[in-house]
Each structure stands twice: as C-alpha cells, then as structure tokens.
C-alpha cells in the first residue's frame, strides 16, 4: 500500500531542517560562495541538531535515519545552498561504504568517534584520468606485513583533506580490473597524505573539493572493507544509494527557483501590470511545479525502496538524472523570469544555476546514469 503522507517524526525532521536552513544557511550562503569556503559553524550546528551523519545506525549509537528521512532533510538544506548541502551529503557518501561493506566491529570502530564531535567523512573513487570508468583506477594498494600501503592520487574529492576518515578505493593489481580492487578506510592522521584544494569552481563554492595524494600511506590490515576484489562493488552499491540525496537536493534547488520566481513575478511590473499576469511567465512557473512534483515522487520512491531493502539502483539513477536536469531547467527559467536582474548576484537565482550544474556531473555523470538505466531496461 502506498501512502503519500509523512509520519509525525518525518514532519518534525522536515520542520527542523527548514528552520536550520532559514536561520543558519540562507543568511550566509552568498558570502561563503564568494569566499569559496566551508562555513564550519554550519557543520557544527548540523551536528548539534542531529543533521550530520544521521545515517550512522543505532547499534553504533547514531540516529540510523533512513533514506526517505535523508531525502526530506536534503531537499530543505539544498533549498538554502546546494554547496553547503554537498558538505553534509558527501560525508554520508563517505560513511556509506562502511555501512555496506564493513563488519559490525568496523562500523563501531570507524563511526562511533564521528558521533562525538562535528566531523566529516569522504569517498575517494575518482582519479584524474578515471572518472566514469571507475574500475580502471590506478591508485595502488599493497599488503605488506600487517599493513596496507597506498600510493596514488584521487581527484574531485568532496571534503577531501578535511575529512576525519576517507574511504579510498585502490587496486592490488590493475590487470585484474574490478576484481583487484579494495576499499580501505584511511584516517586523517595517517602519514603520507596531502591534499590540494580545487579553487574557482563554477558553483557549489561553499563545498570543499580537493585532489588527494597518497605516498606510502600505511593503514592497518583490517581497515579493508570486505575483501580483495570487493572495492568496486562496494563503490557501486554506495552510489546506488547516495545518488538519491543528489536527486533530493536538486528538488530543493528547483523549489527555490520556483519560489524566487513567484515572489519576483508578483512585484515586478511590465506593460502596467505584474509580470505574473502574463502567460509567458505563468507557463514557466507551471513547468517548474510539474518538475518538482515529478522529481520528488521519483526521489521518494527510490528512497523508499532503499529503506525496504529492495533493489533500487535503476530508480536511484532515474531520480538523479531527471531531478538534476529538471532543476537545471528550473534555475535557468528562474533567471529568465528575473530578466537582467537574474543574471547578477543581487538575486539568488544565478547561484542556483551555477550550483545545480554539478548535480548533473558528480556521483556519476547523467550519461553514466543513462548507462545504468538502459542496462536495466535491456536486461
């Protein structure tokens, strides 16, 4: 049976995230976009409110929120700033492989400390020359005695270098393809790591993106999640889940685009009346609302499948591709509604467009989503 209503707990979480966004994010979003820095005070506040790393399960001491709750919260936070949401979302991306591939003991060991203070995780899969073809990773892992020794580099890593722990995907033997891959948990303090912040991004500038370099980085033998050959599959299963928050964030951006457009169209006059009176504007607004409603349904359906323990990879890819494209168009049309004013930073709509572009690229480009979707259709 399908119910289109939220539980009391979900409504409370939504209200909490809405208030958090209104008070902590919207007032500072433009400034941190300009500064190209993570507003750490927002991460601290999210931690205080239980909105950071909220999927850490109850057996570890966390809230154990489901994907549907995460999606409800994500839409609200991204409404305020997608870049800031990426900081929180990428931390969930970093802990998900531990939840999917780690033993209960490993989950306790790695995740319990993350509940004690505001801190972030990261997920290091992409490399400078291996983004979409993730199985071709060149970062090397070698088991020497009781330690894994990691050498190589990773690119485009959200929270890279800031995170307390990073799940690093590497290969013990490139010739084995995905069958030679491993997922290793690398704590921040492990020696031999360096990071280089990527600056002058088009959007999502309040998120932190870095290149990571590993030079003889040593971690204990039992920092491996699963076994040799499991790394790629753990990464794929992780992304099957974490593409849903990207979809949810996109819905949040589209909702902001719609609300800013409505607000502006009611006060801006042309030809002697508010532009909201013209069908040219009304149709744009209607299209935005159609997209938001459709996208949210897809996102929540994919999230519901995850929470039921049902297959969800195709639905997650559909939601991610559709919502990021729908939100891109909503942000684009919001600028059009605002005319020249939409093109400058005085109104938030130009930032929406810059921010949402990345949603079509990260956690698998939308072309990769279409590969995942078409494979399912052709199977």
Residue number with CB closer to ligand CAA (53 or 158): 158
User: Which stretch, 125-133, 257-265, 324-332, 337-345, contacts ligand CAA (CB under 6 A)?
Assistant: 125-133
Helix ranges restricted to H, the chain: 8-20, 29-35, 40-49, 67-80, 82-101, 104-111, 231-267, 279-308, 313-338, 349-357, 366-378
What's the residue count for the chain? 379
Minimal distance, residue 352 CB to ligand CAA, in Å: 19
Structure tokens at 149: 């020794």
Q: Which of residues 300-319 bind ligand CAA (CB under 6 A)?
A: 313
Residue nearest to ligand CAA (CB): 364
Phi, psi of 271 (to 5 degrees): 50, 35
**224 membership: H or E segment, kind and range:** strand 224-225
Can you tell me the distance from the alpha carbon of 266 to that of 84, in angstroms, rounded to the nearest whole number? 29
Residue number with CB closer to ligand CAA (22 or 196): 196
Minimal distance, residue 243 CB to ligand CAA, in Å: 8
Q: Which of residues 156-175 bind ligand CAA (CB under 6 A)?
A: 156-158
Q: Write the interaction track for ligand CAA spanning residues 60-99; mark x where CB under 6 A is met and - where it is not.
A: ------------------------------x--x------
Residue number with CB closer to ligand CAA (126 or 193): 126
173-189 burial: b if 16+ Cβ within 10 Å, else e = eeeeebbbbbbbbbbee
Residue 372 touching ligand CAA (CB under 6 A): yes
The DSSP 8-state label assigned to residue 160 in this structure reads T
Contact (CB, 8 A) for 251 and 210: no
Residue number with CB closer to ligand CAA (117 or 379): 379
Q: Is 363 a catalytic residue?
A: yes
Query: Distances from the Cα of 99 to the Cαs of 46, 85, 105, 107, 225, in angstroms?
Result: 21, 21, 11, 7, 9
Structure tokens at 223: 């920092």
User: Which stretch, 133-141, 190-198, 278-286, 287-295, contacts ligand CAA (CB under 6 A)?
Assistant: 133-141
Query: Distances from the Cα of 207 to the Cαs of 39, 133, 147, 176, in angstroms?
Result: 9, 24, 32, 35
Residue number with CB closer to ligand CAA (32 or 232): 232
User: Which stretch, 102-110, 122-130, 210-218, 283-291, contacts ligand CAA (CB under 6 A)?
Assistant: 122-130
Kindly name the residue from 31, 260, 363, 367 that is annotated as catalytic: 363
Residue 178 touching ligand CAA (CB under 6 A): yes
Residue 362 touching ligand CAA (CB under 6 A): yes
Contact (CB, 8 A) for 330 and 357: no
Sign of CA dihedral 65, 71, 76, 81: positive
Question: Which residues are registered as beta bridge partners of 211?
Answer: 196
Q: Write the interaction track for ligand CAA spanning residues 224-243; mark x where CB under 6 A is met and - where it is not.
A: --------xx--xx-xx---
Q: 3-class DSSP state for residue 220? A: strand
Site for ligand CAA (CB under 6 A): which residue of 7, 41, 103, 132?
Answer: 132
Minimal distance, residue 160 CB to ligand CAA, in Å: 8
Q: Which residues are catalytic?
A: 363
Interface with ligand CAA (CB under 6 A): 90, 93, 123, 125-126, 132-135, 156-158, 178, 232-233, 236-237, 239-240, 313, 362-364, 368, 371-372
């Amino acid at each position: 049976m399908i119910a289109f209503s939220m539980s009391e707990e979900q409504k409370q979480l939504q209200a909490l995230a809405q208030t958090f966004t209104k008070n902590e994010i919207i007032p500072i979003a433009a400034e941190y976009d300009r500064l190209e820095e993570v507003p750490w005070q927002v991460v601290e506040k999210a931690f205080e409110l239980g909105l950071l790393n909220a999927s850490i399960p109850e057996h570890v001491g966390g809230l154990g929120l489901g994907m549907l709750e995460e999606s409800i919260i994500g839409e609200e936070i991204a409404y305020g700033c997608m870049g800031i949401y990426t900081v929180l979302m990428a931390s969930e991306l970093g802990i998900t492989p531990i939840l999917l591939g780690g033993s209960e003991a490993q989950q306790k060991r790695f995740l319990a400390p993350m509940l004690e203070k505001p801190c972030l995780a990261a997920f290091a899969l992409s490399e400078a020359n291996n983004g979409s073809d993730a199985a071709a990773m060149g970062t090397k892992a070698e088991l020497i005695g009781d330690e894994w020794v990691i050498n190589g580099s990773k690119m485009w890593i959200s929270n890279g270098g800031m995170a307390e722990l990073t799940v690093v995907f590497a290969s013990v033997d490139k010739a084995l393809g995905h069958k030679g891959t491993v997922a290793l948990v690398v704590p921040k303090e492990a020696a031999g790591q360096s990071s280089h912040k990527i600056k002058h991004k088009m959007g999502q500038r309040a998120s932190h993106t870095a290149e990571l370099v590993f030079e003889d980085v040593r971690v204990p033998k039992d920092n491996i999640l699963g076994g040799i050959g499991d790394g790629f599959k753990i990464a794929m299963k992780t992304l099957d889940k974490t593409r849903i928050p990207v979809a949810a964030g996109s819905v949040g951006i589209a909702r902001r685009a719609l609300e800013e457009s409505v607000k502006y169209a009611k006060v801006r006059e042309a030809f002697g009346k508010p532009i909201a009176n013209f069908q040219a504007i009304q149709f744009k607004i209607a299209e935005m609302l159609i997209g938001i409603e459709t996208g949210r349904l897809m996102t929540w359906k994919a999230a519901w499948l995850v929470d039921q323990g049902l297959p969800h990879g195709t639905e997650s890819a559909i939601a991610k591709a559709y919502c990021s494209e729908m939100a891109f168009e909503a942000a684009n049309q919001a600028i059009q509604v605002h005319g020249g004013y939409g093109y400058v930073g005085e109104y938030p709509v130009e930032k929406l467009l810059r921010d949402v572009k990345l949603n079509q690229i990260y956690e698998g480009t939308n072309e990769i989503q279409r590969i995942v979707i078409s494979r399912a259709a052709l199977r």
